[in-house]
Amino acid sequence: DVKVTQSSRYLVKRTGEKVFLECVQDMDHENMFWYRQDPGLGLRLIYFSYDVKMKEKGDIPEGYSVSREKKERFSLILESTSTNQTSMYLCASGRGGRTYGYTFGSGTRLTVV
Amino acid sequence: DQQVKQNSPSLSVQEGRISILNCDYTNSMFDYFLWYKKYPAEGPTFLISISSIKDKNEDGRFTVFLNKSAKHLSLHIVPSQPGDSAVYFCAAGGGASKIIFGSGTRLSIRP
């Protein structure tokens, strides 16, 4: 069964802390994505990657960075968390070229206090 | 600029009746469309898709209709069941471009 695994389901961090959110997929997908979901705003794309060591900014990249050293792993980094980064973070992966849909992980609920 | 719009943030339907969720898009380059379902504290799961060469795709209780001239698609669920209560996201894509998601509609099925 196809899987996208996110390392943590729930995280609570203090303002200013550094946070790593890890995502691993076992489908050999080229494309990987990080979204955040907030009520009324839907799924907003933070960063995505079409290949190892490649990254592109999505719609809301400010305050975030990413790392993709291996094909199966895509990490989201919050260098210095702020309360407005409290959200549900969702990782997804998809095939390269023509995309027929993404497979999502279960999400990480991050609370910044 | 929202390329994919779900104008109804919520919808309440009686169990056994039909649920109709709507979605509008602006980019005529989109050529495939998807619906995802999301429960609280879980990631979205793929529900059904449709290519722009079709105007209807059916999978069990779920049917997606596409009206290209109106740039509109809808998801019909019949009959609606309690387990259908969730947030539904419409999404669209074209070629190798990334998928664009709408803001979601929260569907509540009441007994």
Q: Name the CATH superfamily, with its identifier, for domain A4-97.
A: Immunoglobulins (2.60.40.10)
Burial label, A89 (beta-carbon count in 10 A; 0-12, 13-18, 19+): buried
Q: What is the pLDDT of residues B1-58, one digit of tens each?
A: 678 999 999 999 999 999 999 999 998 888 889 999 999 878 999 999 999 999 999 9
Q: What is the pLDDT of residues A91-109, one digit of tens each?
A: 999 886 555 678 999 999 9
> For position B1, what pLDDT does the model report?
67
Instruction: Decide if pLDDT at B93 tops 90.
Output: no
**Minimum-distance CB partner of B102 among A31, A42, A103:** A42
Report, as an integer, the average pLDDT of A66-90: 96
> For position B40, what pLDDT does the model report?
87
Q: Is B29 in the A-facing interface, judged by CB distances under 8 Å? A: no
- Mean pLDDT over all residues of chain A? 91
Determine contact, residues A107/A7, Cβ cutoff 8 Å: no
Tell me the nearest-neighbour CA distance from B23 into chain A, angstroms. 13
Q: Which two structure tokens, joined as six digits, stand for A82?
A: 């702020």
Q: With bands split at pLDDT 50, 70 and 90, how would you rate the model's confidence at A9? A: very high
- Kind and range of the H or E run holding A24: strand A23-25
> For position A2, what pLDDT does the model report?
64
> For position A63, what pLDDT does the model report?
96
Determine contact, residues A23/A84, Cβ cutoff 8 Å: no
What CATH architecture does domain B4-110 belong to?
Sandwich (2.60)
